[in-house]
Amino acid sequence: MATNAQLFERAQQVIPGGVNSPVRAFRAVGGTPRFITRAEGAYLHDAEGRRYIDYIGSWGPMILGHGHPAVVDAVQRAVREGFSFGAPTEREIELAEAILALVPSMEQVRLVSSGTEAAMSAIRLARGATGRPKLIKFEGCYHGHADALLVKAGSGLATFGHPTSAGVPPEAVQHTLVLEYNNLDQLEAAFAEHGAQLACVMIEPIAGNMNFVRASVPFMTRLRELCTRHGALLVFDEVMTGFRVGLQGAQGLYGRLIPGFRPDLSVFGKVIGGGMPLAAFGGPRAIMEHLSPTGPVYQAGTLSGNPVATACGLATLREISRPGFFDALSARTRSLVEGLQGAAREAGIALAVDCEGGMFGFFLAHELPQNYGQVMATDKEAFNRFFHGMLDRGVYLAPALYEAGFVSAAHTAEDIAATIDAARAAFAS
């Protein structure tokens, strides 16, 4: 039996950094990544036979836990029918109908294969529909690795960003403005200067790529007002929050807090694929009809609407739509974060926590951060020690302080209690 270290060494010979997505390499926390051999329910098992309580959930999709019987059955039946056809299937229609029934802001939806693909397609659609070039994103929000989105904030208010990745030429981000999350002054300044040229504003309504940071209600209210006034499209990136924080996603939460609130376009992924490569973007028919083949905005994908992936996603949506599902999931998540906060308090350690639905975050700080700069000012070394303390005790958290965590329906009260006991020991060590 190969050890995790041996597998990692082998992987580094044939895969850049030994991983196929950077955060898996444990660079942020140090140590050796765990190579997973199997999973069931709320648990992962690594190559050395160790079992972990899983709070990554494949970075969000596994809201039902691993290997839910109804999902497995749907996938097995789909596999027997065929892996891929390159032609339409009825199941694509069924999944689209299921998504639209849950998200009132959308009248049509286009299925794709990844969150990156969905986000970059939504931006292209926004530019095509408005005839404008510029877009706003917020520091700390991640929308995939498309060139125009791999950008950091420039200096001063409402300035254009600079590439954060080699291989992205400056002209690829020349139309991208990067603002501070929850900063109303920067938002006002950006629209005052560039409003007539803005195609869209893309935002994670609850940013899961700087741990767990909510857009404040005043900030979101003003953002909606400014987009409407200036004719820019408001694009909600719900790849992480969609069907994870609630049955209508984060836009359902803001819709209850802000009268009449709706985004113009929405981007979904993760949960809608149930763990398979599947994502989507959608909005009102008048905007979506700009897409080919009915309109001039080109977008295509050989595996879009894959029959196995749509079977997995459709089965997942059916399960989470059952009455009481999110009430139970939310209660389970709250019990986890409240328990973690209590364990920290016993040890005299500051811990700020937040959660919504099956998504949560915690910070080694006295108050919840409101933007990326505040997140990065929290104690990274203390987080790294806590991460390894939990991992050594069989609890698998995200291996970076800027990633959200996820609870599934498969986590039991005993799993939560074991996690809190592990935290108590890790805080005390």
Q: Which of 235, 349, 338 is nearest to 284 (CA)?
A: 235
Residue found under tokens 């007002």: 225
Closest-CA residue to 28 (of 417, 403, 411, 424): 403
Beta bridge pairs of residue 422: none
Asked, as a colleague might, if the bond just before 293 is cis with ω within 30 of 0, I would say yes
**Of 278, 265, 344, which is closest to residue 312 (Cα–Cα)?**
278
Residues with a known catalytic role? 142, 237, 270
Residue type, 316: T
What is the C-alpha to C-alpha distance for residues 267 and 238, in angstroms, rounded to an integer? 5
DSSP assignment letter at 378 = S
Structure tokens at 27: 């660079």
- Rounded to 10 degrees, the C-alpha dihedral 390/394/398/404 comes to -80
Helices (DSSP H) in 82-176: which residue ranges?
Answer: 90-102, 115-130
d(CA 313, CA 275): 8
Place of tokens 């364990």: 343
Sign of the dihedral through C-alpha 241, 244, 245, 248: positive
- Angle, helices 380-392 vs 413-428, to 10°: value is 130
Q: What is the dihedral of CA 38, 40, 43, 48, to 10 degrees?
A: -20
CB 178 within 8 A of CB 163: no
Separation CA 98–CA 287 (nearest Å): 20
